[in-house]
Amino acid sequence: MLSEDYQKIADAIIYAFEAHEGATRKDKKLPYIVHPLRVYASLREVGVTDCAVLVSALLHDTIEDAGKTKEELAQLFGEKVGEYVDYLSDDKSLPRDERKVKVRERLKDAPIEVKLIKIADRLDNVLSVEISGWTDEKKRKYLKESELLIESLTNNLVDDKKSKLIRKFAEELQKMIISLNQQLNP
């Protein structure tokens, strides 16, 4: 990566930290910023070096949860970042179930980079299910949604490095879902 890429990543970390300041994860204890940092770290850990992907991973919830706009992100971090984060954002004006169906449909044909970020995002979210404080029924529903999301994200993959990473994350995610379902349904 180039030194300007490292600067963009540092700027994105600061931006995400400020955007999510005061917010917490589902457990109401862990600062929210930990989530985008873990998504970023999981992508770096498997060798992702595409700066737009990494910056988008850090900013992936800023439109949906922090009121930022695609245009603002594009101006600050580039068009690709604005586009990727917009792809990853739910329309919270819709009822939850309808929103989740629309997201899955949109992601079927999303750019491979968006699919890679989303699978890393979901993997981290599923890691948090056990400490979420949710009812068992809500956990089961979220795990079912995760299985459906895997189908959308693994649709139309080719045989390249990013597709292989998506498949790797999908396999890991599926194992986690099976394990959590076994705990919920002994």
> Which residues are the active-site residues?
64-65
Burial class (CB in 10 A: 0-12, 13-18, 19+), 137: exposed
**Any idea what DSSP says for residue 27?**
T
Report the candidate in 92, 102, 151, 146 with the shortest Cα–Cα distance to residue 121: 146
